[in-house]
Chains A and B, each alone.
Chain A
Amino acid sequence: MRFVDEYRDPAAARLAVAEIETLASRLVPSGEPLKFMEVCGGHTHTIYKHGIENLLPSTVELVHGPGCPVCVIPMGRVDDAIAVAKRPNVIFTSFGDMMRVPGGSGNLLEAKAQGADVRMVYSPLDALRIAEANPDREVVFFAVGFETTAPSTAVTLLKARERGVTNFSVFCNHVTIVPPLKAILESPDLRLDGFIGPGHVSTVIGNRPYRFVPGTYGKPLVTAGFEPLDILQALVMLLRQLTEGRCEVENQYTRAVTDGGNRKALEILSQVFELRPHFEWRGLGFISQSALKLSPEFADLDAELRFAVPGVRVADPKACQCGEVLKGVIKPWECKVFGTACTPETPIGTCMVSSEGACAAYYNYGRLTKIPVKSA
């Protein structure tokens, strides 16, 4: 594929890996690995899809961060979504990967099997279209995602208002990237040496909001694109910072990210949304000002108000140690419920929910590290 394969060139990858190896071995002669967190779920996907972990030397370890927007939605919110979906006149619309995320009692796919009208959409605008085609039904969109997807929800709400669509509403679960990053950095037992910053989110918010990461917490951050060479180059840039004693925000994804972000998108966001005082994250608990809700001006399109969702909080099981896994304090297999009460079929914590969460990945692929794979 043109404009894609260039970022997947094996020869260039070998060069980058060689540089990573050289830099890392100089930084940690003892062999104790350097740990870098890729914040974004999209990066985690690239890392698995292309087998990048397998290419890296043992001195560099990637820790998969909290940036998978479907995995961080707490069980109580999924239960609320299911309660709305099961109301008689409702067509409930959701992104595909949200359908299998478990609540306290089941997921949306199961609700669908039990008769709820749950439909998979690819964009909130599809949900609005369904509302226009079914004027006698209530159409609800399950909005999830970081600043990446929030603008498209905002545009949809503006369109709904403009076209006078009243049988459409949004169950808003949009979250913001900076607060969870802070929450992770605040942890006294943090064991991370740097961050690969999220690419898509940064196309909206820009690179400036991350300055506190080196400034306050003394960790380097490099915003990266989503192709394998982007990730490898970001690692090289992080290691160079450590080698040269620098600690700053750098931008690897210059083809899409600017310092100031996308002003138009930010304007629309502030027009449609406001910050929630606090929001619960699966595995991380309550984080203040970490999520968005519809602003009073759009209250009539807010599904939470329209349907009076139960709003029951379902606590993460006590034994779940996702928080520590996310901070790099423990490895997945060190969690007390890993592989017993918590498996990919019956996940408890955020790290097991997505197939790319740290725990699910280790559950499925952990053996690979023990298996010598013969090369072609």
Chain B
Amino acid sequence: MTGTAGPDTDGSGAGRDGGHDGEGPELGREEVVLERIEKWRRHRPRLKDEFVNSAHGAGGKASAALIDAVFVEAFRNKTLETMADAAVLELPSGERIAFSTDSYVVKPRRFPGGSVGHLAIHGTVNDLSMMGASPSWISAAFVIEDGFSVEELRGIVDDMAEAAKHAGVTVVTGDTKVVDRGAADGVYITTAGVGVIPAGVHLDARAIRPGDKVLVSGKIGDHGVAVMIARGDLALEADIPSDTAPLNELVEQLLAAAPGTRFLRDATRGGVATVCNELARDAEVGVVLYEHQLPIRNIVNGACEILGIDPLYVANEGKLVAIVPADQADAALAAMRAHPVGADAAVIGDVTEEPPGIVVLRTGLGGSRIVDMLVGDPLPRIC
């Protein structure tokens, strides 16, 4: 991207000599500055770091910069560039399949409501489901640290087997590697999955239109808060189980009830806020969310309040955001609520024409604020 931006985007010299006072009429200078920021923001973030750090794995701006600069740059192709949850591939027969992969490195490996084993299946099943596919086959690769307990490994793999059975998918191939002690932290799991997309199902952010409704399939923030508490370094105790769950059945029912559904994405890392930002950017629409309509457990809200983090950015492992035409929103909501994992589904916002690319939250108090992309992980605040 270097060199594609305007002359003043990296500040090379602009105003450094302090002699720019009085240039042009004062009126309108604010607009000029806003316009410049706006132009700059439309560019995908640029990678400036020399070393990878944890922010690059957090799913926000830093992740996008790394992915663009390193991976997309090297692998460049049309399918990859859609940057969807899963790649959509057309077979010679004309049938379409969804194909997706993900690695699972959660700490701790076991938390209330599940384990890394559940995540490894649910995550990939859900990525496929977001393209409207019926997930069928899964691969699983394990990187194991020398000295890892076989009993714990068996427990994790049993969880995977249980999760796969529950989701109706089969683990059909795999790989095992053992690395030196200290070269990995216990066990890392990578799964990939394939599923067939039924004819007529085309989910795409570009289909989103102003007037559409934004739905979420249940209470948000449970998984992220459950894991943070299970890490044990918060000196907080609360009974919050992770929401890890497969969403394929829910998606099937949703698409049957609301066939006009435009777009689905599971709100994992980066939470509902990140999903809404991505779709607003890709569809060039605005999104307005209503704080009082967000389904959030009291206890999750309380934990977030204490830590100074925003539940909109907290990870979920069994929740999706759906964009549905207004006239099918009731049907979509009823279909989700009819399924156990969608019992607390809610309409949380509207797709608007203005402001394109921006997510606005109408606060419970009656004010509004922009819900932006995060740079890295949400960090607890001291003040």
Binding site for B on A (CB under 8 A): 1, 4, 8, 10, 13-14, 40-42, 45, 48-55, 67-70, 95-100, 109-110, 112-114, 120-123, 126, 144-145, 148-149, 200, 228, 318-319, 331, 333-334, 336-346, 363-368, 370-376
Question: B366 — which chain A residues lie within 8 A by C-beta?
Answer: 10, 13-14, 51, 55
Asked, given contacts A1-B298, A49-B369, A373-B368, whether A342 binds B379 with beta carbons under 8 Å apart, the answer is: no
15 A-B pairs with C-beta separation under 8 A: A13-B365, A48-B369, A50-B364, A50-B365, A95-B381, A96-B381, A113-B53, A114-B51, A120-B379, A228-B365, A319-B16, A337-B14, A345-B61, A345-B375, A373-B288
Q: Which of A98, A109, A341 contacts B376 (CB 8 A)?
A: A109
Asked, given contacts A69-B383, A319-B15, whether A123 binds B235 with beta carbons under 8 Å apart, the answer is: yes
Asked, given contacts A123-B235, A145-B383, whether A10 binds B365 with beta carbons under 8 Å apart, the answer is: yes
Bound form: Cα–Cα A131–B381 in Å:
23
Contact yes or no, B34 A333, CB < 8 A: yes
Tally of contacts, chain A with chain B, CB under 8 A: 179
Question: B40 — which chain A residues lie within 8 A by C-beta?
Answer: 339, 343
Question: B368 — which chain A residues lie within 8 A by C-beta?
Answer: 51, 54, 368, 373
> Max chain B CB contacts within 10 Å: which of A8, A45, A339, A363?
A339
- Lowest 4 A-B CB distances belong to which pairs? A51-B367, A341-B11, A336-B15, A96-B379
Q: Does B42 sit within 8 A of A, measured CB to CB?
A: no
Asked, given contacts A113-B54, A114-B51, A370-B34, whether A126 binds B233 with beta carbons under 8 Å apart, the answer is: yes
B18 to chain A minimum Cβ distance, whole angstroms, is 6
B359 to chain A minimum Cβ distance, whole angstroms, is 11
- Write out, one digit per residue, whether chain B residues 39-63 have a CB within 8 A of any chain A CB (1) or not (0): 0100001001101111100000100
Contact yes or no, B382 A376, CB < 8 A: no
Contact yes or no, A113 B369, CB < 8 A: no
> Max chain A CB contacts within 10 Å: which of B10, B15, B52, B233?
B15
Asked, given contacts A10-B365, A114-B51, A375-B362, whether A95 binds B11 with beta carbons under 8 Å apart, the answer is: no
B158 to chain A minimum Cβ distance, whole angstroms, is 32
Q: Does B361 sit within 8 A of A, measured CB to CB?
A: yes
Asked, given contacts A97-B382, A367-B358, whether A52 binds B365 with beta carbons under 8 Å apart, the answer is: yes
Q: Does B37 sit within 8 A of A, measured CB to CB?
A: yes
Contact yes or no, B37 A67, CB < 8 A: no
Contact yes or no, A368 B370, CB < 8 A: yes
Contact yes or no, A376 B362, CB < 8 A: yes
Binds A, one of B120-128, B201-209, B214-222, B300-308: B300-308
Q: Which of B18, B354, B364, B381 contacts A336 (CB 8 A)?
A: B18
Question: B61 — which chain A residues lie within 8 A by C-beta?
Answer: 345
Contact yes or no, B20 A45, CB < 8 A: no
Q: Which of A41, A42, A95 contacts B380 (CB 8 A)?
A: A95
Contact yes or no, A333 B235, CB < 8 A: no
> Max chain A CB contacts within 10 Å: which of B30, B301, B375?
B30
Q: Which of A40, A112, A338 contacts B383 (CB 8 A)?
A: A40
Q: Does B91 sit within 8 A of A, measured CB to CB?
A: no
Q: Which of B37, B53, B361 contacts A339 (CB 8 A)?
A: B37
B147 to chain A minimum Cβ distance, whole angstroms, is 21
